[in-house]
């Protein structure tokens, strides 16, 4: 059959495609594992193979870190234009002293140094006594100043990180958590977050307590695609 011979003559391996440009058919070689066929109007045939990140829209694990008598927890790779936003999960977090806050700082040099000014934030804790709050300009509070050294590693939560690798946007954090008060066996919800008031490319983050260290803690950072 002429049509079959024409197709076979222009392809060389299983999976080859024959899209056309303005005038003629052109061989498009098969892609590699985990790639998908996508539209790109900059290509001659308006088609190309591209990497399908984690199967499409969703969370992609960047890294997990376990703290053990650690001064800080850092993520210095994977924060780039690949992702639209980031999600940080933390659990089993316990400080070396009572009355601590979980904080985040940003870096624009891959973690060589971290910014210590130009932040605006608020950490809150909701209890039957009302609302407890804390603020800072040297870092962003993701909790109120009531994290306890209780021996049970009770702090857990999550935070959305927005605008980090985009130099045209401010970097912001929105966190929620469940925390055990240092004044008694009370487990209460809290929130925290803020803004870094300088538009620049952020490519690393540092987590730290206000004055002490992490006794324990597990942290996982994910990138979110498809938003």
Q: What is the pLDDT of residue 108?
A: 97
Q: Please give the average per-residue pLDDT across 99-115, as a whole number.
A: 96
Same structural domain, 122 and 209: yes
Query: What's the count of helices (H) and strands (E) in the chain, helices before strands?
Result: 1, 14
State the DSSP code for 206: E
Task: Please identify which residue in the block is written with the tokens 């045939």.
Answer: 45
Question: 32 with 108, same domain?
Answer: no
69 and 181 both lie in a single domain: yes
To the question of pTM greater than 0.95 for the whole model, the response is no
pLDDT at 132 over 70: yes
Same domain, 44 and 144: no
Alpha-carbon distance 132 to 58, whole Å? 34
- Smallest CA-to-CA distance from 89 within 109, 58, 62, 107 is with 62
CB atoms near residue 110 (< 10 Å): 11
* Structural domain that includes position 174: 58-225
pLDDT at 33 (0 to 100): 63
62 and 40, same structural domain?
Answer: no
Query: What local confidence, expressed as pLDDT, does residue 2 receive?
Result: 47
150 and 131: one domain? yes
Q: Are residues 76 and 14 in the same domain?
A: no
**What's the average model confidence in pLDDT over 90-109?**
93
pLDDT of residue 135 exceeding 70: yes
Say if residue 109 is in the same domain as residue 206.
Answer: yes
Strands (E), 82-198: 85-95, 102-107, 119-127, 130-134, 140-141, 155-162, 171-180, 187-196
> Over the Cα atoms of the chain, what is R_g?
24
Task: Write phi, then psi, for 154 (nearest 5 degrees).
Answer: -85, -20
Q: Which residues contact 1 (CB under 8 A, 6 or more apart)?
A: none
Decide which of 129 and 80 is more confident. 80
In this structure, the answer to whether residues 32 and 99 fall within a common structural domain is no
Confidence class for position 195, pLDDT limits 50, 70, 90: very high
**pLDDT above 70: percentage of residues in the chain:** 82
- Counted domains in the chain: 2
pLDDT value for 57: 60
**169 and 76 within one domain:** yes
């Amino acid at each position: 059959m002429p049509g079959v011979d024409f197709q076979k003559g222009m392809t060389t391996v299983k999976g080859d495609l024959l899209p056309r440009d303005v005038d003629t058919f052109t061989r498009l070689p098969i892609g590699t594992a985990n790639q998908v066929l996508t539209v790109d109007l900059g290509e001659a045939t308006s088609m190309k193979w591209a990497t399908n990140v984690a199967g499409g829209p969703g969370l992609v694990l960047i890294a997990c870190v376990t703290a053990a008598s650690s001064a800080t927890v850092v993520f210095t790779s994977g924060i780039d234009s690949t992702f639209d936003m980031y999600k940080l999960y933390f659990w089993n977090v316990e400080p070396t002293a009572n009355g601590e806050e979980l904080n985040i700082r940003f870096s624009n040099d891959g973690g060589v140094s971290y910014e210590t000014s130009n932040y605006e934030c608020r950490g809150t804790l909701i209890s039957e006594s009302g609302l407890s709050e804390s603020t800072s300009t040297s870092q962003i509070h993701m909790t109120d100043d009531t994290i306890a050294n209780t021996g049970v590693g009770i702090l857990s939560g999550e935070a959305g990180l927005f605008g980090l690798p985009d130099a045209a946007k401010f970097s912001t954090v929105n966190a929620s958590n469940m925390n055990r008060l240092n004044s008694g066996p009370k487990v209460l919800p809290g929130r925290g977050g803020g803004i870094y008031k300088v538009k620049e490319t952020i490519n690393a983050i540092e987590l730290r307590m206000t004055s002490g260290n992490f006794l324990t803690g597990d942290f996982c950072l994910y990138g979110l695609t498809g938003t």
